[in-house]
Amino acid sequence: MRDAPVAEVEEAIAAGGLSHIKAPRIGAILRALSAAGGAPDLGLLDALRDGDALAYLQSLPGVGPKTAACVLLFSLGRPAMPVDTHVHRVSGRLGLIEARLSAVAAHGVLTALAGPAASDIYAAHVDLVRHGRRVCHARRPACGTCPLNDLCPSAGSFS
């Protein structure tokens, strides 16, 4: 993919959406990771602390906090909470983060809240995403059937 024409990469990833934005970024990232020669390599992250690894990943073209946290957690088993729209929404409604806290700022807060074990962060991430998709919808959350209704400060606030 590093050396493929952007149009071919776009076609290959079209199902994921935003392929016209993502395709050139993927090539640029893979080229940056290959700068030392050879195949793209994230091995340099092994020697970095988690915060430094996040900063390095975010220095790559088009990589933000969510993508960096996804790489660290899902690919490298490192403790970093990816905050997508579901995680951000559900965490705010449950009072785990301040309601007005940005998604960018929520990464650090939720990573710390979930604890130092990557396995706990992974489980929390998956559970928050699942709850956001199945119950705590953006526009019409199903508060009446929510198993967290008794704990949720936002329960019943949506009509």
Active-site residue, selected from the candidate residues 3, 22, 50, 84 = 84
CB atoms within 10 A of CB 157: 10
Out of 46, 52, 66, 127, the active site residue is: 66
Rounded Cα–Cα distance for residues 120 and 71 (Å): 16
- The question of whether 84 is a catalytic residue gets the answer yes
How far apart, in whole angstroms, are the C-alpha atoms of residue 134 and residue 3? 40
- For residue 69, CA distances in Å to 7, 10, 65 come to 27, 24, 6
Look at the block and give the residue holding tokens 């970095």: 48
66 is catalytic: yes
Q: Return the active site residues.
A: 66, 84
